[in-house]
Amino acid sequence: CGQIMGRAEADDMPAAQIMYPAMQCADIFHLKADICQLGMDQRKVNMLAREYCTQSKIKLKPIILSHRMLPGLKEGQEKMSKSNVDSAIFMEDSEQEVRTKIKKAFCPPQIVENNPCIEYIKYLVIPMLGSFKLSRKEDNGGDKEYTAVEDLEADYSSGALHPGDLKPSLANAINEMLTPVRKHFETDPEAKKLLAQVKKYKVTR
């Protein structure tokens, strides 16, 4: 389970690498979570929680939902990082913050593989919104709506779709998805208080 900290397992490991999986496993039971929805890199610690239930004769084991790991927005980042605010889109990001992050995101022309912007569209935008709406000047091909990821990838890899046109439309799509989330944290007193508390914490590395 020590691998969930992004480090390889070895005979000589720091105490934190040993304690962290146990603490994260304890969180599941402290929160009385019925369902654990985390990335694939957390699967081992989730399974540790289920194994603990077997040994402790706890009948109701937590259900594990492991989702795909999205790459970070910066070049070479295999996954997003809480310690690097520019590596990911956060639920509390403002519209402008989203636009700035996507504008600076790694998005090499005509390369689909390991392209975070393409991944966001493929695994977030199209599944949630049903399509990806591209807005661009007529001189650059005009507006287009993608309902199939294959069509998007084909246009991008051929050069028919340029990063300069893709990024603003991606930012628009993400902001559309975050609108109800922002409204919730603005109008719900308890959620607003919780968000203010979370923002006080500073992530260190």
Average pLDDT rounded to a whole number, residues 136-154: 96
- The pLDDT tens digits for 13-58 are 677 777 888 888 888 888 888 998 888 888 888 889 999 999 989 8
CB 143 within 8 A of CB 135: yes
Produce one character per residue of 52-88: b if its CB has 16 or more CB atoms within 10 Å, e if not.
bbeeeeeeeebebeeeeebbbbbeebeebbeeeeebb
> Residue 66: what pLDDT?
86
> Residue 117: what pLDDT?
97
- The pLDDT tens digits for 172-201 are 999 999 999 999 999 999 999 988 888 887
Q: In angstroms, rounded to a whole number, what is the distance separating the alpha carbons of residues 87 and 101?
A: 8
Residue 149 CA: distances (Å) to CA of 58, 196, 201: 43, 37, 38
CB 69 within 8 A of CB 154: no
Could you tell me which residue, 88 or 13, shows the higher pLDDT? 88
> Residue 133: what pLDDT?
97
Q: In angstroms, rounded to a whole number, what is the distance separating the alpha carbons of residues 204 and 143?
A: 43
CB 25 within 8 A of CB 53: no
Residue given tokens 């902001």 in the structure block:
175
Residue given tokens 């650059």 in the structure block:
140
How far separated are the first and last CA of the chain, in Å rounded? 20
Given a cut of 70, whether residue 12 has pLDDT beyond it is no
Could you tell me which residue, 198 or 170, shows the higher pLDDT? 170
